[in-house]
Copies of this chain bind each other. A is one copy, B any other.
Amino acid sequence: MSEVSRVSPDEWDVWRVFFSMRKHLDLALERQLQRDAGISLPDYEILLALFESAGNQLRARELGAHVGWEKSRLSHQVTRMERRGLVKRSDCDTDGRGTWVGITADGRRAILGAMRDHATTIRRYFFDVLTEDEQVVLRNVSGRVLDAIDPPCEELDDEARDQEGEHDLAV
């Protein structure tokens, strides 16, 4: 901890610009996906996970873990996407409680276009304006912020810490 939890004017300046950048980058990514592939960022995350899975389908539980969402959020999202024909639910034979979520032909078409355009946008707005050194700084800083928020040890210090830099995948 520093002195008295004060944030200096210079620091506020850094924070404001960083905060604004996050917002604008999010918006730009969402606008691009909507325009080029007709899907949202949440749609993209779901479709990508299904597209990369064996058999193009996953149990709801697995899918949720993959994108790092809780089950109710996933259920709502899948309901909306099923309504638009991007994914399809089906019952699980081996577990009466389970549900499979699979990608449809329309969903596959959408994600294929989206992946290409999404990468282009990220490159244009992000990597094209960063030097390699800055990328390294950004990765290190991000990792440290994640550790500060959600400490990998958290009060156990000598507990099992088999996995270190995980936090969550997504995108």
> Does A91 belong to the interface (CB within 8 Å)?
no
Q: Number of A residues contacting the other chain (C-beta, 8 Å)?
A: 55
Copies in the complex: 2
Considering the complex, give the chain B residue whose CB is closest to the CB of A137.
B137
**Contact residues of A between 140 and 171, Cβ < 8 Å to B:** 140-150, 167-171
> Does A112 belong to the interface (CB within 8 Å)?
no
Contacts of A25 in B (CB 8 A): 145, 149
In the assembly, what is the distance between CA of A123 and CA of B147, in Å? 14
In the assembly, what is the distance between CA of A17 and CA of B123, in Å? 16
Contacts of A11 in B (CB 8 A): 127, 135
Taking the closest CB of chain B, its distance from the CB of A51, in whole angstroms, is 16
**Contact residues of A between 88 and 146, Cβ < 8 Å to B:** 116, 119-120, 122-130, 134-135, 137-146
- Residue contact B120 to A20, C-beta cutoff 8 Å: no
> Does A13 belong to the interface (CB within 8 Å)?
yes
Q: List 12 A-B contacts (CB under 8 A).
A: A1-B123, A5-B119, A11-B127, A14-B138, A16-B171, A18-B138, A19-B170, A21-B146, A25-B145, A125-B145, A126-B145, A138-B138
